[in-house]
Amino acid sequence: MTSPNRRSKPRRRLPPEVLSPAEVNALMAACKGDCYLAVRNRALIAVLYRSGLRIAEALALYPKDVDPERSSIRVLRGKGGKSRTVGIDAGGLAMLTPWLERRARMGFNGVHPLFCSAWGQPLTTGYIRRMLPALARRAGIAKRVHAHGLRHTHAAELREEGVDIGVISKQLGHTDISTTARYLDHIAPWAVVETVKARGWSR
């Protein structure tokens, strides 16, 4: 029996792995076919990738939270109970549209979660944790693939495109911009890479 005073070992955190655009496309292509599962899962991956939402935030969305005209998503149940509005590009919305049309044909309306089961029930984070690695194996992706990795990928791409860190911070829902700075330095240390790459070697 473990002593009550003995501390358990902290859970080891593996370093984040950012996906390339080709890997994300392969992940979505692994959702093969036109069944509702494939259409829904492609849409969910696209929303995670192109908006940077946390998985709990994405699964808490309802159709009314998506505004195609403004290319925005309203997050009502963010971390710490805070709400915010994030952007999503036209490509991400285009991947979501087939699912919106399919769920409407299946008889789901505004009272059902945006991403729901065949019976209109909310999806669980456990289901997504199992689904994404399975799709990654099918797609031949060697990296660890998980929902937060798509959030990492979104942030890294914004950083690489030169988006202001304040904008990235608001998109991710960080309360402190220093959190975003540490986050980006961890997942997208391009300044370090580019500086070292440019060094000359005198022989």
Catalytic sites, residue numbers: 54, 79, 148, 151, 174, 183
CA dihedral 196, 174, 158, 187 (to 10 degrees): 40
Tokens linked to 121? 């029930």
- Reduced DSSP (H G I as helix, E B as strand, rest coil) percent helix, strand, coil of the chain, to 5: 55, 5, 40
- Do residues 60 and 73 make contact, with C-beta atoms less than 8 angstroms apart? no
Q: Can you spell out the DSSP letters for 84-114?
A: EEEE--HHHHHHHHHHHHHHHHTT--TTS-S
Q: How far is CA 80 from CA 66, 75, 83, 102, in A?
A: 21, 12, 9, 33
Rounded CA gap, 32 and 9, in Å?
A: 41
Rounded CA gap, 98 and 41, in Å?
A: 11
Rounded CA gap, 89 and 68, in Å?
A: 9
CA dihedral 136, 141, 146, 150 (to 10 degrees): -120
